[in-house]
Structure 1
Amino acid sequence: MTESGHDMDPVDQQPDVVWPALGAPTRDAAVDRALELLDGVRDVPVEGHAELYSALHNSLLEALDAEPGLPPAAPRKPEGNS
């Protein structure tokens, strides 16, 4: 290695990412299921984050649309698709 570090592999130069821990359960099963999608974000390449966050958003919308005491509504189609 040279003093300037030009011989280092770019991957070795990346800073370590410290991921926050998931919060406590919300006591709302539908919301907790949606938030579980975040467990896998650190294993998904950056290119796949938009799809993962879109799935999380749609899952949270379904949780918000749910009537208490009724079975979950049918999954929504992604916004913008026909």
Structure 2
Amino acid sequence: MERNEAYREAEQKIEAARRSGAKELDLSVRRGGYKTPKLTALPESLGQFTQLQSLNLTNNQLTTLPEWLGQLTQLQSLNLSTN
């Protein structure tokens, strides 16, 4: 899988959120320029973020979700709009 800029940025945000004990994670992309990097796949490190309760993936380019996403048993809110 090609790891574009958006993927690398997401990995950094995931790690920072895990370290801080955050329960919410925003990996959305602001609407705007067409050149803004967008996620086309979710980093596997997200699957280890077991305390996650809210995940915002708005305005990316996701077409499928990995099976391991179902292992995030604390997840209560998942925003996938505009993908």
**Pairwise same-fold verdict (TM > 0.5):** no
Is the strand fraction higher in 1 or 2? 2
Structure having the higher Rg: 1
Is the helix fraction higher in 1 or 2? 1
Which structure carries more relative contact order (alpha carbon 8 Å, separation 6+)?
2
TM-score relative to the length of structure 2: 0.29
